[in-house]
Structure 1
Amino acid sequence: MSIIHFHLISLSVIVPLFNERESLPELVGQLYAALGENEMRTLFPAPFGFEIILVDDGSTDDSCALIGSMIAERPELRLISFQRNFGKTAALSAGFMAATGDYVCTIDADLQDDPFAIKEMIKKVQEGYDLVSGWKQQRKDPLSKTIPSKLFNTVTRLFTGITIHDFNCGLKVYRKEVTRRLELHGDMHRYIPVLAKWMGFRIAELPVSHRARKFGTTKYGSSRFFSGLFDFLSVLFITRYLRRPMHFFGMAGLISFFSGFIISLYITLDKILLNKPVSNRPILFLGILLLILGVQLFSTGLLGEMLSTSSSRGSSFAVRETLNLTAGQAKKFGAAD
């Protein structure tokens, strides 16, 4: 079996998937057509090579077996298979770790995104951007998905100041420097443009065509909205206070402690000057509560400062097997190739 020369890889395409067996043959065929040398020759001065990293997020429909059979004929394919379903964020993190190309593209496995848009997105990156996100202007999804998505995008734009329209589009192209520095947890894949912008990378948006789902059903239920809310709050904190948690907790603690001090001083003066009773006054308990809360918030800020200087990066997934990765790629996951 011939193996692609890894040093010639210009583009790594990452495909997170979960129970998409029916879509995979058509998707791989479209990717090979879109990434053909004739398509990409004008974008790269050196000989163009690519790899397609399929990250199986614990599928139960024999997707792994199908990918294994395709690798025999398509050596550019790679497989990373998880022990169980860890979520899209973990799948993207694994793909980023394995990617060796100068450019990295992510695309969903459900055939709703058009692989032929990758070329135009790479052109946009080469204009000087670090991340180009797709914008599904004419989305082919039911209202149960489009309305919450519009709400999500509006709120995210409002709070982050980033003026792109579709934060959660699965089709994105990055420079390798971006994916090397991204640290994703929970369901933070939705906020990749926010995290990239916070790190100082230049981001842009490009309209892309969107197609109706051809096989299967969506893998995201109503529970994603709650997890998305919690991750949104986490991202806001990370992008503003990750390296200075005392600025957040310290300010809140100062306001609480000062408010409690003013209330306690007022009660004390009432007792001294007007001889009013101190016990059985609800405001007394409020003052004590605010004083205690202020001290606790200060303590939390100090602990956060200490943790932020000693935190270590770890993986939030477990890999069962890998196929057709180089020794260096496989070593990153501690799995035999």
Structure 2
Amino acid sequence: MSDVKGSGQAQDTRVAISVVIPVYNEQESLRPLYDSLTAELQKVGVPYEIIFVDDGSTDGSFAVIAELHSLDSHVRAVRFRRNFGKTPALVAGFQHAGGDVIFTMDADLQDDPTEIPQFLDKLSQGYDLVCGWKYPRHDPISKTLPSFVFNRLLVSTTTGVKLHDMNCGFKAYRREIIEDIKLYGELHRFIPVLAKQRGFKVTEVKVQHHKRKFGKSKYGAKRFLRGFLDLLMVLFLMSYLRTPLRLFGSLGLLALLVGVLVDLYIVADRFLPFGSHEAIHNRPLLFVGIMLIIFGVSFILTGLQSEMIRHFAYRPAEEYSVRQVLD
């Protein structure tokens, strides 16, 4: 927390803490959230801003945000023309955030702003990203069970990032993270994984979790399927983004080898003395081998094409993440 205070005092016009809050139909929650958040940020004692991103709300959410903006210069707002989703909302908030430390929170009052100091303490210990761990969690089993399976069994096991609550919206970032990683689609769920892959230090803290007071949850069962598909994409990006031929080439060579062996077996079985001598064109397995050969060549060509795209899209600054430079 001392690092944040120091940056704020060194330059009064510079914002030390930005809080980005995606909003979608949370009219009743906004003013209580603003009141509690403002009270806590004033206790921290550094320059701050609160950025509400209205993700196409159809209730009176933006009217409340506009009123808060007119009453408090710390409040800023971004309003989308329609509902684009949480990742675009976060990206818009990050683009408008000026703080050295950026917090993200949900607008449903389930995150408690009084937890902010412990996030700052973790950042002062050298961590770059601090994730909230909602414990105990006050959600129905329809949300907690899929979350357990997804976070603890799938994501933690496949990526090596050991967090209890990967999807918790309450997080604190050093500015370097949001400037380094690329967010699109619904990749906000995997920010800790993307940050860890770039070499940033990631940890978590237990946070209070309150029951939802107003509105209803925006998440359904289809979120689990989308999350699984996004996980596959993240695993691919982590492993083969810079060397796509290693994936497509390996699959292609394997399919090509199996296809050739299958067809050689068919030919040998037809002409060798100990074979069945059955006509080749009557063997369905022959066409399986031919298809495997075609697939193998296609995979290899796809890998080569990917390497060409990779070559022309090469940007040196994206090949690494710099922590410090001494000239």
- Pair in the same fold by TM > 0.5: yes
CA deviation string 1:58-99 (max 9, x = no partner): 001121122111111110111111111010011111111111
TM-score by length of 2: 0.88
Which structure 1 residue ranges, 5 or more long, are not aligned? Answer: 42-47, 314-337
Is residue 211 of structure 2 the alignment partner of residue 207 of structure 1?
A: no
Kindly provide the amino acid, as one letter, of the partner of residue 175 in structure 1: R
Query: CA-atom RMSD, angstroms?
Result: 1.7
SS in 2 for 1:9: coil
Alpha carbons 1:134, 1:207 under 8 Å: kept:
yes
Aligned to 1:324: none
Q: Give the deviation of 1:267 after TM superposition.
A: 2.2
Secondary structure of the structure 2 residue equivalent to 1:61: coil
User: Does the alignment pair 1:18 with 2:24?
Assistant: yes
Q: Which secondary structure state, in structure 1, belongs to the residue aligned with residue 158 of structure 2?
A: helix
Equivalent residue number for residue 247 of structure 1: 246
Counterpart for residue 331 of structure 1: none
| 2:74 is equivalent to residue 76 of structure 1 | yes
Shift of 1:276: 4.4
Q: Deviations over 1:212-259 (max 9, x none)?
A: 001110011222122112111111111111111111111111110111
What is residue 158 of structure 1 aligned with on the other side? 157
Which portions of structure 1, spanning 4 or more consecutive aligned residues, are displaced by more than 3 angstroms? Answer: 308-313
Q: Distance in 2 between matches of 1:162 and 1:49?
A: 33
The total of aligned residue pairs comes to: 301
Q: In 2, Cα distance between the equivalents of 1:301 and 1:6?
A: 52
What is the Cα deviation at residue 307 of structure 1? 2.8
Show the counterpart of 1:289: 291
Q: Secondary structure at the match of 1:8?
A: coil
Task: Give 2:94's aligned residue.
Answer: 96
Amino acid at match of 1:205: E
Paired letter, 1:182: I
Q: Partners of 2:170 and 2:314 in 1: how far apart?
A: 30
The residue that corresponds to 1:273 in the other structure is 272
The aligned amino acid for 1:228 is G
What SS is found at the alignment partner of 1:22? helix
Counterpart residue number, 2:307? 305
Task: Give me the whole-angstrom Cα distance separating, in 2, the residues matched to 1:310 and 1:109.
Answer: 42
Q: 1:302 to 1:95 in 2, by over 3 A?
A: same
CA distance in 2, matches of 1:269, 1:143: 59
Q: Distance in 2 between matches of 1:312 and 1:76?
A: 40
Shift of 1:182: 1.9
- Which aligned pairs between 1:156-235 and structure 2 lie closer than 5 A? 156-235=155-234
Q: Distance in 1 between matches of 2:89 and 2:95?
A: 10
Amino acid at match of 2:55: D
Deviates more, 1:184-193 or 1:271-280: 271-280
Preserved CA contact (<8 Å) 1:11 1:51 = yes
The DSSP-based 3-state class of the residue aligned with 1:134 is strand
Q: Is the 8 A contact 1:249 1:297 kept in 2?
A: yes
Higher helix share: 2
Aligned-partner Cα distance in 2 for 1:200–1:248: 23
Normalised TM-score (structure 1) = 0.86
Deviation at 1:306, TM superposition (A): 2.6
Is the contact made by 1:97 and 1:180 (CA closer than 8 Å) also made in structure 2?
A: no
Which residue in the other structure is 2:137 paired with? 139
Query: Does 2:126 align with 1:128?
Result: yes
Distance 2:93 2:70 in 1: 21
Any stretches of 5+ residues in structure 2 without a counterpart?
Answer: 1-10, 316-327
Asked whether the 8 Å contact 1:103–1:173 carries over to 2, the reply is yes
Distance across 1 between alignment mates of 2:204 and 2:309: 35
Paired letter, 1:211 = H
Shift of 1:310: 4.2
Contact kept in structure 2, 1:182 and 1:195, CA below 8 Å: yes
CA offset digits 1:91-138 (Å, max 9, x no partner)? 111111111111111000000011111111011011111101000120
Q: Which residue type is aligned with residue 123 of structure 2?
A: V
Amino acid across the alignment from 2:181: L
* SS in structure 2 at match of 1:55: strand
Give the Cα separation in 2 of the matches to 1:52 and 1:182: 22
Pair 105,309 (structure 1): closer, same or farther in 2 beyond 3 Å: farther
Q: What is the identity, as a one-letter code, of the residue corresponding to 2:310?
A: S
CA distance in 2, matches of 1:10, 1:187: 27
The residue aligned with 1:8 is: 14
Distance in structure 1 (CA, Å) of the matches to 2:312 and 2:36:
45
Cα–Cα, structure 1 residues 86 and 6, in superposed 2: closer, same or farther, change >3 Å?
Answer: farther
Are 2:124 and 1:118 equivalent residues in the alignment?
A: no
1:33 corresponds in structure 2 to: 39
Q: Distance in 1 between matches of 2:308 and 2:216?
A: 45
SS across alignment from 1:243: coil
